[in-house]
Amino acid sequence: MLLAATMFAGATSASAKTPDGKPFILLLAGRPSHGPGQHEHNAGVQLFAKCLAQGAPQVVTKFYLSAAWPTPEELAQADTILFYADGAGGHPMLQGDHLAQTEKEMKRGAGFVCVHFAVEYPADKGGPQALEWMGGFFEMNWSVNPHWTADYTELPKHPISNGVKPFSTKDEWYYHMRFNDRAGKLTAILSALPPETSVGRDGGRSGNPTVREAVAAKKPQTTAWAYERPEGGRGFGFTGGHFHKGWGNDEQRKLLLNALLWTAKVEVPATGVESKITPEDLDANLDPKGRKPKPPENPAAAPAPGAAPAPAAPAPAAAPAQ
């Protein structure tokens, strides 16, 4: 199936749009992309839903896989919408009339969250909206996308940081975002100093004179940020998430889960959204991507009555290296 929902009993929220008054979070995954363990959008959103079920049982979540799109009614109910997908011109939000549909929900104050490649938009389509809704985005010929180990030694006092300890991970941490400095309140949540070797020669995503000068001057670079829109909506950008194993880091995972609650205007627990996952949880729902399927544990077992065969995985979409 291309979508699934998880519902849990719990306290209601005045800002919720579900019929029974619960906060509602939409998690939208893009198509399979890159190699095994990279850009695992489908596995990622399903892991987020599982973790929210543990640490925020008052929230209703629904995820869509492989660039499937929710109904207008579901969009209208969402307290926040997360995109974890390949971005640029192939961004799911830029297909068909999706941008107009999303804009409608932003105008009423829905939250807006983008993870990894999903923070990248063309400067003339999606970029202006991301500046308005999320406070920043990855802009070609301005931002860069190197792989490096970021050491997050300090976090600001903010609900998204609740319970998150300093941590360090190697990822494709994009930086030198194009930020909104004209309106709203922007808060850097994760910032670190990249090595000068992380800036390559001049190119669309590899380097440019401005970013090279900033890194040489030892200016910390923001890789995750929170944004409060003037009319009251909230956004969050997170540039990591290239490697699926990064979600096994308790601090990184908690930060993202906290951000989902905060953008949905749900109170973040003082200790953050707690979740525990196993290696099996992390390996669940990965896209095939050339892997040999594991043999069934009980080859003789017949399918359950009425069970439908799983749909074939869509072909990986071509994407620039991210």
Q: Rounded CA gap, 119 and 40, in Å?
A: 16
Q: Rounded CA gap, 268 and 161, in Å?
A: 9
Which residue type is seen at 181? D
Q: Rounded CA gap, 283 and 294, in Å?
A: 12
Name the one residue in this structure whose structure tokens are 């620039």: 320
Domain boundaries in the chain? 3-283
Q: What is the DSSP letter of 197?
A: G
- Please give the CATH architecture assigned to the domain spanning 3-283: 3-Layer(aba) Sandwich (3.40)
Q: Rounded CA gap, 237 and 117, in Å?
A: 10
Backbone angles phi, psi at 308, to 5 degrees: -90, 145
Q: Which residues contact 216 (CB under 8 A, 6 or more apart)?
A: 196
Q: What is the pLDDT of residue 294?
A: 54
Q: Which residues contact 15 (CB under 8 A, 6 or more apart)?
A: 23, 79, 264, 265, 266
Q: What is the pLDDT of residue 291?
A: 61
Q: What is the pLDDT of residue 299?
A: 38
How does pLDDT run along the chain (322 residues), one tens digit per residue? 344 444 332 333 335 467 788 999 999 999 999 999 999 999 999 999 999 999 999 999 999 999 999 999 999 999 999 999 999 999 999 999 999 999 999 999 999 999 999 999 999 999 999 999 999 999 999 999 999 999 999 999 999 999 999 999 999 999 999 999 889 999 999 999 999 999 999 999 999 999 999 999 999 999 999 999 999 999 999 999 999 999 999 999 999 999 999 999 999 999 999 999 999 999 999 999 976 555 545 434 333 333 333 344 444 333 444 5
Backbone angles phi, psi at 122, to 5 degrees: -60, 145
Q: What is the pLDDT of residue 21?
A: 87
Do residues 112 and 259 touch, judged by C-beta distance below 8 A? no
Do residues 80 and 260 touch, judged by C-beta distance below 8 A? yes
Closest CA to 78 of 22, 138, 146, 149: 22
Strand, coil or helix: what is 195? coil
Which residue type is seen at 221? Q
Q: What is the pLDDT of residue 303?
A: 36
Q: Rounded CA gap, 246 and 305, in Å?
A: 38
Q: Are strands 136-137 and 234-238 parallel, antiparallel or unpaired?
A: unpaired
Q: How many residues does the chain have?
A: 322
Q: Rounded CA gap, 317 and 31, in Å?
A: 6
Q: What is the pLDDT of residue 20?
A: 83
